[in-house]
Structure 1
Amino acid sequence: MSAVEVAAPAHAALGEGPTWDARAGRLLWVDILGSRIHTYDPVSGRRTVTATEQHVGAVKPRVGGGLVVNLRDGVGLYGPAGSEGSPEGEAAASAPAAGPFRWLHREPVPGRRANDAAVAPDGSLWCGTMRYDETPGGGTLSRIAPDGTVRVLLDDVSVSNGTGWSPDGRRVYYIDSPTRRVDVFDVGDDGLPVARRPFATVENGFPDGLTVDAEGGVWVALWDGGAVHRYTPDGALDRVLELPVRRPTACAFGGAGLTDLYITTARTGLSAPHPMSGSLLVVPDAGKGLAQPEFAG
């Protein structure tokens, strides 16, 4: 495994949600508290940053072009794609949105914001929320259908984070960070989660975002743990990727062969952050990822 490198230098307060956009050949990620959507093209090195009007927990590509975003007050759609954000370094506050915006589902709750999200094999968006003060049980995990229909899957979440499916789609992994666990559900014939049970427990730090590789291994970023852990499909820890930053937040495979592991990081709450904190990191040739579905809405 190669050493960790800086893919895109940044000072994101709370970098999150790396996602490989295969159609565009770029990596998408967000700065939640900075209200920014970032893109990075590893071939050209081109980077963009787009401002959002609200804190943004996640961004994913859409089947028809454009983006779906998990915002503070709900889920919205940009696009279809046709305009980019401003090149990195220009005034982000004046950056145009990535196409026209509309709400797909709007449900503002005072004191609550969006967090991580993932697209299920059926093209729906599983999106999480949390209280700004991290009140236990103050968040949710919901399924947003392409037509905007909402089904609440979990209504007592504290900090909704990583979500990912096994290669055969029969299991879904999920993290509520304060539990210090990665849990696993079976997936029913209707695509909904059943039979929740512990999959792995973290002792050093808090599990945050996750991704699943082509072998069914589960890679988990450890907030305040300074590492990414890989677990085998039976829950055994088999790799530890130590990082120079204290607060990695999430990870995803990207690049043309889906072999490079991208890792988002945070600076928020650190009195003396490492120079790499807030940047998008990459570990070349870390493994082999799974192609991720696009949101069908």
Structure 2
Amino acid sequence: MNAGWEVAVAEPAWLGEGPTWDARAGRLIWVDILSARVHTFTPATGRRTVMATEQHVGAAKPRAGGGMVVNLRDGVGCYDASGAFSWLCREPVPGRRGNDAAVAPDGSLWAGTMRYDESAGGGTLSRVAPDGTVARILPDVTVSNGIGWSPDGRLMYYIDSPTRRVDVFDVDDQGAVRGRRPFARIAESESSASTAGFPDGLTVDADGGVWVALWDGAQVRRYASDGRLDQVLRLPVGRPTACAFGGAALADLYVTTARGGPGGSPLGGSLLVVPGAGHGLTQPEFAG
């Protein structure tokens, strides 16, 4: 279907990623990974900010005490409300960087990594507690990407992009995950003329639907809570990377994008929005 998209912010980002609605500030936060920039946009006023980071930044999320937590090349760090930076946990590995991340219902950060050359098994998924304690959840992923939880917190969705799957885990009362299994599959080729692309970032809506951005697929898909594909939003860029609901009513779907890809659209890198696309969930803040 026609997505009814609009350009929220025209920006030639190399690799726009990780949109997150900061409910307390009424703004969207997203990153340009390869330009080492954290962007914010306040729809009510049009105000924008851009903050440079010292390393490539895979994700930035709001903190309960103010500021942001960031998934950087060499680990996870925090900016306080004044902008001062400190490392929370640091684990530099040559050739590896932080990628997508998400805050769990308990306030922990689930942070992914990947190799720059995307070599198989070179990435990880880890849980970073508010005190900086790190628990390795998955030790051998390739391109760790979208992470999200069901409205009741009993399921966690996860994407390792080259698998062309969205997987789902059960979540126990302590927040630990188990029982990984496929939730949805993206076919390698769905017609003789095009491919569906690779699953990248995701978000979960208030009804339990899982929205997935398809890199090189020029679309965002919604999968119902039973894994059934029930909506496709076609976009004017070849490489949508991730999506998140925002706005006062959490009804507008914001989509980050990257340059290049099929079609070579001049809008690649911009922040897009699909007004009134659905009903999102308020995202937790990092408790550290």
Whether these two folds match at TM > 0.5 is yes
Over residues 246-268 of structure 1, what are the superposed CA-to-partner deviations in whole Å (9 max), with x where a residue is unaligned? 0000000000100000000001x
Q: Supply the distance in 2 between the matched residues of 1:40 and 1:58 (Cα, whole angstroms).
A: 15
- Give the 5 Å matches for 1:253-264: 253-264=245-256
Instruction: Give the equivalent residue in structure 2 for 1:249.
Output: 241
Question: 1:68, 1:77 within 8 Å by CA — same for their partners in 2?
Answer: yes
Displacement of 1:67 in angstroms is 0.3
Q: Supply the distance in 1 between the matched residues of 2:74 and 2:141 (Cα, whole angstroms).
A: 17
Q: Supply the distance in 2 between the matched residues of 1:2 and 1:217 (Cα, whole angstroms).
A: 17
Question: 1:2, 1:284 within 8 Å by CA — same for their partners in 2?
Answer: no
Instruction: Give the equivalent residue in structure 2 for 1:90.
Output: none
Instruction: Give the equivalent residue in structure 1 for 2:108.
Output: 124
Question: 1:227, 1:242 within 8 Å by CA — same for their partners in 2?
Answer: yes
Amino acid at match of 1:263: V
Displacement of 1:275 in angstroms is 1.6
% identical equivalent positions: 74
Residue 107 (structure 1) aligned to one of 54, 66, 91: 91
Instruction: Give the equivalent residue in structure 1 for 2:193.
Output: none
TM (norm. structure 1) is 0.92
Over residues 210-230 of structure 1, what are the superposed CA-to-partner deviations in whole Å (9 max), with x where a residue is unaligned? 000000000000000000000
Instruction: Give the equivalent residue in structure 2 for 1:89.
Output: none
- For structure 1, which runs of at least 5 residues remain unmatched after alignment? 83-98
Instruction: Give the equivalent residue in structure 2 for 1:288.
Output: 279
Q: Supply the distance in 2 between the matched residues of 1:28 and 1:202 (Cα, whole angstroms).
A: 28
Q: Supply the distance in 1 between the matched residues of 2:24 and 2:232 (Cα, whole angstroms).
A: 31
Q: Supply the distance in 1 between the matched residues of 2:17 and 2:258 (Cα, whole angstroms).
A: 8
- Give the 5 Å matches for 1:207-286: 207-267=199-259, 270=261, 273-286=264-277
Question: 2:3, 2:233 within 8 Å by CA — same for their partners in 1?
Answer: no
TM (norm. structure 2) is 0.95
Amino acid at match of 2:250: L
- For structure 2, which runs of at least 5 residues remain unmatched after alignment? 188-195
Amino acid at match of 2:283: Q
Q: Supply the distance in 2 between the matched residues of 1:159 and 1:2 (Cα, whole angstroms).
A: 27
Over residues 132-153 of structure 1, what are the superposed CA-to-partner deviations in whole Å (9 max), with x where a residue is unaligned? 0000000000000000000000
Task: Output the aligned Cα RMSD.
Answer: 1.1
Q: Supply the distance in 1 between the matched residues of 2:176 and 2:286 (Cα, whole angstroms).
A: 17
Displacement of 1:273 in angstroms is 2.6
Using a 3 Å threshold, how does the CA distance of structure 1 residues 120 and 135 change in structure 2: closer, same or farther? same
Question: 1:136, 1:157 within 8 Å by CA — same for their partners in 2?
Answer: yes
Using a 3 Å threshold, how does the CA distance of structure 1 residues 272 and 242 change in structure 2: closer, same or farther? closer
Displacement of 1:272 in angstroms is 6.7
- Give the 5 Å matches for 1:116-155: 116-155=100-139
